[in-house]
Structure formats: structure tokens, C-alpha cells
Amino acid sequence: MEVKELESRVDDSIMSQITSLGHEQLVVCHDKDTGLKALIGIHNTVLGPALGGTRMWNYANESEAIRDVLRLSRGMTYKAAVTGLNLGGGKAVLIGDAKTMKTEAFLRRFGKFIESLNGKYITAEDVNMKMSDMEYIAMETKHVTGLPIYRGGSGDPSPVTAYGTYVGMKAMAKKAYGNESLENKKIWVQGVGQVGMYLTEHLRKENATVYISDIDEEKIAKVAKATGAKGVSAEEAYDLDIDVYAPCALGATLNDDTIPRLQCSIIAGAANNQLEDEIKHGYDLMKKGILYAPDFVINAGGLINVYLDYMKEYNKERSYSMAEKIYDNCASIVRVAEEENLSPQEAAIHIGDKRISEVGNVKLPR
């Protein structure tokens, strides 16, 4: 059943939402002493424990937080499934102001809630969480991954995410132009934070012409100076005559307003949830002849990194060699999409569902 169809059936009750989106569990956590209010979404654990980061956000209301955790944890299921990892999909959200509420006790209490799930959910760093926050959480639970290198963890996953995005972009170029080279291609990297910065470095090394935008002018100046990329204003960038658009900032940048403006032939970037409407905008891009690399396929480098860390098998070489396979994953998704006349987004979801179902059957007793 497609997401759009699912969502149209969803009413506001929690049970209705988790039933429709296919979640196994939604854990609601509260601690009156620290003010902790957290939600842990466990979407699917057929392939393995539900791994996904914790983010903190000042949600306008609880329904928004529930919607976010359900959508994000479902996304993690598919990211792991198509990447070939033995992980399920999970995500946690902490509700409130990240600047004022994250005390040691608050974070450790949250760690205790994670511990109480006995490894069914494994957490990592996400939006508005710092490594120091994760260290507090790790004082109360062993089910934390992606800790700093000085703690024996795998550290910042952004370089691997950027590398996976880079090789995925090359696979899309091979499909669109018959040649994977990005030399002299005009590429817009939107957002030069951690991932965007490393991606720009890869692209410049290959002599691509790179345009960069960010709401932070200082970041543009820094990355432009270091790499020779050209700074552009966030708004004018959508109208640029380019070959590739690489969203590396926010979600939902592919929508009714932006798609008609885009003049690229490929979209390949690391931002999560790029399509505002997973179905409609996936098909709008297809109709426009733009090849889209589904975000959860191309940005899986970070998940590969924390997966190896969690398995106690992390080393940098292994992480990069697994991320290299994102090239093949992107190539097979666009092939299946073409063969079955699906958008790449839908093709990726079908591939993920197939693996979950097949591996799930293997695990059943005989």
C-alpha cells in the first residue's frame, strides 16, 4: 500500500497512525523531575534492532512530534533494508527546547528509558544533539552508537555520508549521461554544513564546477576559499542552469514551488526527506525527466558507519568500502524504476519491502 493512500486513511489516534504506517511500537516516555518528554518510534525489527538517531525539537504540539517520529523511524527501516544492513528502523524525539532543557539528569533519564528496551532500539546523534549529550545517555545505556573516537566509537559520520553521496551521484551521472565522470558538470550543493562541505571537496577534486549556497554566509566564504566553489544566494540557486542539484541542508526542498524551477537533469544529495510528498513529487520529477536518487539510499553512508560501530566491526576502510556500494544501489534502483515504470522513490521502497519479506521468511523456524 502506498504512503499517500496510507496517510489518507490515517486519523489522529495513535493506534490508527501506527497501524497504518506499519509500526511495531511507539514508546512514550515521561519523567516529571527532569521534564523529559520523549517518543521512541520502533517501526520494524525484522532485519535487526531498530537503529536511528535521537533529535530534539521544540514541536508546536505533541501530534507534530508523533508524526515526526513515526515518519522518521519508517524512513530508517527502508534505509537499512535497501543498504543491505541487518537493522530495523527506529528514531527518537525529545520534545522541548534543546538550548535550555538538556541537563545531565534529563539526558541520563532518557538513557534509562532506552536501556529498558533491552536493545530493541539503538540510538545515535541527530539534530540538536551533541556528542557530549550522547555521552550522558551512554552512562545509562549500552545501546548507543556513533560515540566519539576518543571513546572508542566511530565519531562523525559526515565524511562517509558525503562519500556515499558522491559515488551515488556518479552512478546517476552514468545513467543520465552514459559516463560517470563529473568533470566540468555544473553542480549546486545546497547547504555546506558537515556533509555539504565534504561533498564539495570530492566534486572539486574531480573538476566539477560547484555552486554552493547556505543561510550562513561565513560557511559559504570558508568552503569557497578552501575548494574554489562559487557562492550563490539561496533563492537564485533554484533557477540556475545546472546538471546536478545536491540538497544537503533541509528536507522537503522538492515541492510544488521548486520542481517547476529546477533545470537540472539529476538530483542527488544527502538531506533527509527531500520530497515534500513522497509519491506526487517523485512522479513530478519523473515527468520532468529529472533523475532522482532517493535520499535514504544515497545518504546511507552515515548509517553504515554507526552500524559497523554497533557491530564492533568498525574501521574506516571497511566503512568506506561498504559506502562504495551505494553506487550499485543507486544504479539498481533506477534500473528497477525504469523496468517497472515506478518513480525511483517507489522502486527503492519496493526493494526494501522485498528484502524485509524475504529475510523475514528465512528467519522463520522450519
Residues that bind ligand NAD (CB under 6 A): 157-158, 161, 190-196, 213-216, 219, 234, 248-250, 270-272, 299, 302
Gyration radius (Cα) of the chain, Å: 20
Q: Shortest distance, CB of residue 161 to ligand NAD, whole angstroms?
A: 3
Q: Is the dihedral of CA 189, 195, 197, 202 positive or negative?
A: negative
Query: Which residue of the set 37, 91, 170, 219 is catalytic?
Result: 91
What is the C-alpha to C-alpha distance for residues 211 and 221, in angstroms, rounded to an integer?
Answer: 12
Q: Shortest distance, CB of residue 359 to ligand NAD, whole angstroms?
A: 23
Considering the complex, state which of residue 20 and residue 190 has its C-beta at the smaller distance from ligand NAD: 190
310 to each of 10, 15, 49, 147, 329, how far by Cα in Å?
Answer: 34, 31, 11, 10, 22
Q: Shortest distance, CB of residue 274 to ligand NAD, whole angstroms?
A: 8
DSSP string, 124-148: -B-TT--HHHHHHHHTT-S-B----
Considering the complex, state which of residue 214 and residue 243 has its C-beta at the smaller distance from ligand NAD: 214
Considering the complex, state which of residue 123 and residue 190 has its C-beta at the smaller distance from ligand NAD: 190
What is the C-alpha to C-alpha distance for residues 241 and 32, in angstroms, rounded to an integer?
Answer: 54
249 to each of 62, 74, 234, 269, 270, how far by Cα in Å?
Answer: 25, 21, 11, 9, 8
Q: Shortest distance, CB of residue 109 to ligand NAD, whole angstroms?
A: 26
Largest Cα separation within the chain, whole Å, is 61
Active site residue 91: yes
**Pair type for strands 25-31 and 36-44:** antiparallel
Q: Shortest distance, CB of residue 153 to ligand NAD, whole angstroms?
A: 14
Q: Shortest distance, CB of residue 203 to ligand NAD, whole angstroms?
A: 15
Residue 87 CA from chain centroid, whole number = 15
Considering the complex, state which of residue 80 and residue 270 has its C-beta at the smaller distance from ligand NAD: 270
Number of residues that make up the chain? 366
Q: Rounded to 10 degrees, what is the CA torsion of 200, 327, 267, 297?
A: -110
Considering the complex, state which of residue 271 and residue 322 has its C-beta at the smaller distance from ligand NAD: 271
Are the CB atoms for 324 and 167 separated by under 8 Å? Answer: yes
Copy the grid coordinates of residue 227.
575548494
Considering the complex, state which of residue 110 and residue 188 has its C-beta at the smaller distance from ligand NAD: 188
DSSP class of 150: G
Closest residue by beta carbon to ligand NAD: 193
Active-site positions read 91
